[in-house]
Structure 1
Amino acid sequence: MTIVPIRKIGDPALRQVAEPVTTFDAQLGKLVKNLRQTLAASGGAGLAAPQIGVGLRVFAINPALPGNDGKLDHLVNPGVEFPDEEEQDGPEGCLSIPGIYLDTKRRMNVVARGMTKHGDPVQVVGSGLLARCIQHENDHLDGVLFIDRRDKANQDRIIATLRAADWSGARVEVSPH
């Protein structure tokens, strides 16, 4: 079992836009396996490749999420579309920002298209928590963290709190994306 350290806010890898996967090989299979195992060990809902320092457009999703029914455990080169304008507002956290949970507005419904680690096309239609998780992980691939979705006053307060955190030790800023 390979559990990879999860990068924390302030790590430059979290702010880079990830590159599309172009080669579907054993190395990609290993990345997906590492993402799955690290996610399982963390108890989180999802984990994107940049969170373990890999700048590729890949993320893993907990297959036990409500509405998932074990269908999705990873997605390569995802594209996200919204079938309607319905929104949800609820608590959200991130494995790269331990201990911080904030109400975050997201779309209620999502259609995610991408590929499996073998290069086979896949589509997932999700709502509620599954839709939130897919949007959150897809943001990671664009160098965006959920705190970036806060208004300026709340961002400043959160950043001050994060800078004071014992585990931080790094420069914490809001994404330019």
Structure 2
Amino acid sequence: MRNGHIPGAHGRVRPLTLLGDPVLHAPCKDVTDFGPEVATLVEDLFATMYAAQGVGLAANQIGQSLRVFVYDCPDDEDVRHLGHVVNPRLVEADGLVLRGPEGCLSLPGLEAGTQRYDHAVVEGFTMTGEPVTIHGTGFFARCLQHECDHLEGRVYVDHLAGWRRRRVLRQAARAPWGR
């Protein structure tokens, strides 16, 4: 990140919001004040994501209905992508549509083959309000689309149909956290 700063080192690990919580199923609000609260939220998101061993985390996954997400995710060439975005907008999602395994920290222990584009572009801002554009391919493109979905009130299960959807929802209902 900046000046050798380790993301999440000063953040606190917050409880994860789990499937079924209303905050996961409603669109998040734009950030309008790029003050210290946003920097604290980003730090907490990183700390929580690392503690849960994820590659991305949206603010509503820790109960904050704000358009912010963080990521530390490899692409298909194993290049590490590390950062955050405030008020992100998915401006491109194109290329091949690939079905690949997808999980979510809000559905711990579950995954399903989910279709995503293999290229994505997200525009937004840094925590200090500077414009940023993020290009992703492969697994990182999947991550960008997944996190943008969260901020629109969608989870990956919403992309599933038929037996895949029924299977994940059954597994979620039986999971210790789903009761």
Pairing 1:125–2:135 present? yes
Aligned to 2:125: 115
1:47 counterpart SS class? strand
Instruction: State the alpha-carbon separation in 2 of the partners of residues 143 and 22 from structure 1.
Output: 19
Alignment of 1:65 onto 2:74: yes
Q: How many matched pairs?
A: 168
Q: Is the 8 A contact 1:60 1:74 kept in 2?
A: yes
Q: How does 1:1-177 map to 2 (within 5 A)?
A: 1-62=11-72, 64-66=73-75, 72-82=82-92, 84-169=94-179
TM-score normalised by structure 1 residue count: 0.88
| Structure 1 runs not aligned, ≥5 long | 170-177
| Shift, 1:71, TM fit | 5.3
Structure-2 separation of matches of 1:71 and 1:153: 33
3-state SS, counterpart of residue 176 of structure 2: coil
Distance 1:44 1:83 in 2: 22
TM-score, structure 2 normalization: 0.87
Consecutive unaligned residues of structure 2, counting only runs of 5 or more, are 1-10
| Letter aligned with residue 11 of structure 1 | D
Tell me which amino acid in the other structure corresponds to 1:107. Y
Once the 2 structures are TM-superposed, how far is the Cα of residue 89 of structure 1 from its aligned partner?
Answer: 1.6
More deviation, 102-111/157-166: 157-166
- Richer in strand (by share): 2
Name the % identity. Answer: 38
8 Å Cα contact 1:82/1:107 also seen in 2? no
